[in-house]
Structure 1
Amino acid sequence: MMQYMHSFLLFHVVICLIQNAFGSEIINGKITKEKSMMYMASMQNSSKEHICGGFLVSEDFVVTAAHCDDTGNLSSVVLGTHNLKKVDSHTMRYNIKKCKHPSYVNAASGYDIMLLKLSRKAQLSKKTQIKTIQLSSHQIILKKKKICSVAGWGYTRTGGQTVDKLQVVDVPLINLEKCQEAWNNILPVNVVCAGGYGTNKGFCQGDSGGPLVCNGKAVGVVSFNNNQKCDYPDVPNIYTDISKYLPWIKDILNKKHC
């Protein structure tokens, strides 16, 4: 009974930590090269303020984290710029229809992924420079010191503010067993761990929904860190494992609705 109570209390402590970690900016990164990551998208509220990241996977759909709409205030997507001070709302802003994973309740329970159907097709052309990013078709094979990257407009320090210019940082993948152990074995299913542990690099508030990119493909979606603390090293950063949701994603992309 005592062991059960300890596990029960620990589970709720971790849920509280996760619930305070949402909306995750890039720590110890650098400004992204102009036009280098034109699949990146800014999720914005009704006041046209950045709240989360995302990434374009087809001319109709953006992928982001489901928890980015926990407040119900997500209202539009901005494409085609790395600088959020340079947004032409007539051409760069898209209204959206939200397609949350049907099993999503909160990030602590997993399934933290959402597709957003754009109100019109994104213009993939040399003029706009907007591009899509390919999704990884299989689970990551963890190699020693495998380095991936994550980008966003989030905080550059704990308790900071979002930034106008897109930032990117390299992060090492972390063995899932080691990651589970660091998180006291209370992580949800279908996650990938990278950065924030054994390194001074990772994501922070405002980066949620952005892609973890390995070998040019999106393998994860920024989900949560540890209680909004971005003073790494710390416990590993957590991403939703895209490979586990490919059938659901492909079904929506093919039907063009959810």
Structure 2
Amino acid sequence: MHPLHTCLLFHLLMYLGRSADGSEIINGELAPENSMLYMASLQDSNGHHVCGGFLIREDFVLTAAHCDPGITHVVLGTHDLKSVNDDNKIPIETHFHKSLRSGNDIMLLKLSRKVSLNGRVETIPLPTSEMTKQDACQVAGWGAIKTDGRAVDDLRVVDVSIINLEDCKKQWSHLGNLPANVICAGGDKTGKGFCQGDTGGPLVCNGKAVGVVSFNDNENCNYPNVPNVYTDVSKYLTWIDDVLKLDE
């Protein structure tokens, strides 16, 4: 990647992390109460939602690296952020991530304790290899439902379609080169997708978390121009396995 484009994307990702005041699902609907039980709300010391994430083991949450600053705990086991209590707030023990400057917008959070997998909390599997073309996937999060809109407390979800990566790169080319390990889905002219603050949550296809919500074009939730960008989880499976093995 050209150094200038790398720098631009690094500052974009860091800006998204600082401005992530609520995940913003556009043209979605309320997630059914018994669905997506792997979803995590990453919060700061004041209990404010900062980013999304998803549980991949009883003691590990996967999210975006640019969500790192300021998060202290995760909330699991509820779709309603008004119903948070000490039982579903788990402190973060350790952060693991690769160099964000190199475009690696992915991070593992080691929780201070293992959570019980039950009717309210479950893990989501990761892909075993690079994903093949998917027509229907989902992205979910908490927060506003339109650009500059009011944040909401209930988890919302929207269907999105995978966009050919080469086509996505061409559409992004006037803004800068994309990082190497990404998936594009939603946004563009579809009217569906995510906005700033939903970052860190999963792109779910066929029941697996194939991507991590990374960035869009400068907080534009109306999607007139370019696709949404996700980190491709399949490119980081070895790194994820290595981190998880450290704590076995």
TM-score (norm 1): 0.87
Match of residue 118, structure 1, among 94, 108, 111: 111
Mapped partners of 1:176, 1:85: distance in 2 = 38
Residues 1-258 of structure 1 mapped to structure 2, 5 A cutoff? 19-22=14-17, 23=20, 25-69=24-68, 72-88=69-85, 90-105=86-101, 109-126=102-119, 129-143=120-134, 146-184=135-173, 186-256=177-247
Cα contact 2:31–2:155 (8 A) shared by 1: yes
Mapped partners of 2:150, 2:94: distance in 1 = 26
Superposed CA offset, 1:84-114 (max 9, x none): 00111x2100111333323223xxx411011
Consecutive unaligned residues of structure 2, counting only runs of 5 or more, are none
Pair 110,14 (structure 1): closer, same or farther in 2 beyond 3 Å? closer
After TM superposition, give the deviation of residue 142 of structure 1 in Å.
1.9
Cα contact 1:57–1:134 (8 A) shared by 2: yes
Cα contact 1:99–1:114 (8 A) shared by 2: yes
Identity of aligned residues (%): 55
Superposed CA offset, 1:181-214 (max 9, x none): 1110511110000000130001012211000000
Mapped partners of 1:100, 1:19: distance in 2 = 17
Cα contact 2:41–2:51 (8 A) shared by 1: yes
Larger of the two Rg values belongs to structure? 1
Cα contact 1:18–1:226 (8 A) shared by 2: no
Pair 216,68 (structure 1): closer, same or farther in 2 beyond 3 Å? same
One-letter identity of the residue aligned with 1:157: K
Cα contact 1:60–1:256 (8 A) shared by 2: no
Pair 117,21 (structure 1): closer, same or farther in 2 beyond 3 Å? closer
Task: State the aligned residue count.
Answer: 241
After TM superposition, give the deviation of residue 234 of structure 1 in Å.
2.5
Mapped partners of 2:151, 2:133: distance in 1 = 31
Mapped partners of 2:132, 2:75: distance in 1 = 33
Pair 27,255 (structure 1): closer, same or farther in 2 beyond 3 Å? same
After TM superposition, give the deviation of residue 17 of structure 1 in Å.
5.1
Mapped partners of 1:223, 1:58: distance in 2 = 21
Tell me the C-alpha RMSD between the 2 structures. Answer: 1.9
Consecutive unaligned residues of structure 1, counting only runs of 5 or more, are 1-6
After TM superposition, give the deviation of residue 252 of structure 1 in Å.
1.4
Mapped partners of 1:77, 1:103: distance in 2 = 22
Mapped partners of 2:90, 2:137: distance in 1 = 29
Mapped partners of 2:244, 2:118: distance in 1 = 20
After TM superposition, give the deviation of residue 139 of structure 1 in Å.
1.2
Cα contact 2:26–2:145 (8 A) shared by 1: yes
Q: Which has the higher strand share?
A: 2
Mapped partners of 2:237, 2:28: distance in 1 = 29
1:3 aligned residue: none
After TM superposition, give the deviation of residue 160 of structure 1 in Å.
2.4
Pair 256,200 (structure 1): closer, same or farther in 2 beyond 3 Å? same
